[in-house]
Amino acid sequence: MQNIPTRFMEILHEISDLGAAIALLDWDQQTYMPPGAAEGRGHQLATLARLRHVRLTSEELGTLLEELEQQIRGCDPDSSEARLVKVTRREYDKAQRVPTDWVAEFARVTALAHSAWEQARTTSSFALFQPHLEKIVMMRRQYADFFAPYDHVYDPLLDDFEPGLKTSEVKTIFDRLRPQQVKLIQAIGTRPQVDDSFLFQNFSEAEQWNFGVEVITRFGYDWNHGRQDTSMHPFTSSFGLDDVRITTRLSPNNLSMGLFGSMHECGHALYEQGIQGEFARTPLASGASMAIHESQSRLFENLVGRSLPFWHHFYPLLQKVFPAQLGNIDLLTFYRGINRVQPSLIRVEADEATYNLHIMLRLELEIALMEGSLTVADLPESWNSRMEAYLGIKPPDDAHGVLQDVHWSAGLMGYFPTYALGNIISAQLWQTIKRDIPDLEKQISAGKFDDLLAWLREKVHQYGAKYEPQELVQNITGQKIDPSAYLHSLEEKFGQIYEL
């Protein structure tokens, strides 16, 4: 970038490279690392986290920031240089509040917690994970206190994933969503249920993998700068703009799990792969926020992947792959089946109409844990009771309940609200995309996604973290994050499927 001192860029590159090394070790832990290596991996991550934090909070970087802020005063505030300084200042100021020893210890604690979570989930034993989660909750409270005073103890956690957003704002958005989504679910409950039994047959995992690869290749995923592996919980990792990897999870008896998981993670990866090159190894080389990130994954998973136009093209191909299982299932039956609305135990497998209720449940539990009104020991019981209250079902064990998500083992409290916000943003973007690309559905029906990806590259991806999420959404759609388009799309789609 022009007019940015070389030394300033060198420091940012070092910070970025250390972050990439941390991400690579984390990716390895969730994919190929042997289970007995957790303790050593914890020390490695702690060392790298310490080095990165020391670099980020260095006096030299602070001095360079002050000089640059003076230098760019009066310049275009939306220039890449001005935004780089602004975003770096935000990261620097936040890091200054957090002790380096805490950062290193948190990296070690969460590395051990992840391995404990994997074992606990496999054996459905919350007791194995409980002491690790108690440590994480304690440390997240400490983290929040580094940013006191605050309006709410959850605000500092949320701000890590959604810059500038407050807990009160999320609650207001959710209060608009909840009654209308509950009303829709109740209306669907009065109608005859659609059949999706054909999705739960024996499907070759190798063939599922190959078909998923074909789909995301058509979406535009760049395999020269990415790869796909399997993991217990699907995720996307970026080690730089030239190395963005995804994972998926396959089941021999559930066709939807791996296919839609791959589409979802591909949406995340396309975002990272589309950030403009000049932002490489700087704080701008990431998504604007996790909600914006989630809008991309939910867009490809749901608005494209669960749409009727998409399957006009891809369903005949899928039937050729699985003729015995799907040969006698017509297109409309298949489309209705993959969009069946039914309260379910597992969030990542939840349908569009009930998904946000899973998020609201988790948000309430996280806030209670942070406020101290709920103990970790009481978490499984509270989880189960809320599942009954919200979705009318009770988990049979911890693996299908409180242990199903990986996020708490990584200390990612404050993250869950971004999933629901991402759903909302995806619908707002989709409304604008359909206006700008009038024949979008026709293109999707032909298996063509070039114009869609080009639009996302131009409007969203290229900017990385240059704009804050509310700014970006308003720049593109003309309004800030608003649930109206999302609620309308749900009512329209499921109104047709269930003949409401």
Residues identified as active-site = 265
* Rg, Å, the chain Cα set: 22
CA distance 326 to 256: 13
Look at residues 207, 239, 211 and name the one whose alpha carbon lies nearest to residue 226: 239
The residue length of the chain stands at 500
Residue written as tokens 């604008």? 432
Look at residues 395, 416, 412, 372 and name the one whose alpha carbon lies nearest to residue 121: 395
Q: Where are the alpha helices (DSSP H) in 244-326?
A: 255-273, 290-298, 308-321, 323-326
What order do you get walking across the sheet with 236-238 strand by strand? 228-230, 244-248, 236-238
Residue type, 33: M
Peptide bond into 149 cis (omega under 30): yes
Look at residues 245, 252, 280 and name the one whose alpha carbon lies nearest to residue 266: 245
Structure tokens at 85: 């300084």
The CA-based diameter of the chain, rounded to the nearest angstrom, is 69
* Sign, Cα dihedral of 477, 483, 484, 486: positive
Structure tokens at 351: 């349908």
Question: Please, what's the b/e burial string for 416-425 (b: 16 or more CB within 10 A of its CB; e: otherwise)?
Answer: bbbbbbbbbb
User: Helix 126-145 vs helix 355-371: angle between axes, to the nearest 10 degrees?
Assistant: 70
Residue 391 makes CB contacts below 8 A (sequence gap 6+) with 343, 344, 354, 357, 358
Residue type, 342: Q
DSSP-assigned states of every residue in 316-371:
HHHHHHSHHHHTTS-HHHHHHHHT-----S-GGG--TTTHHHHHHHHHHHHHHHHH
CA distance 379 to 390: 16
Helix, strand or coil for residue 348?
Answer: helix
CA distance 6 to 299: 39
369, 379 Cβ separation under 8 angstroms: yes
Strands 228-230, 244-248: pairing is parallel
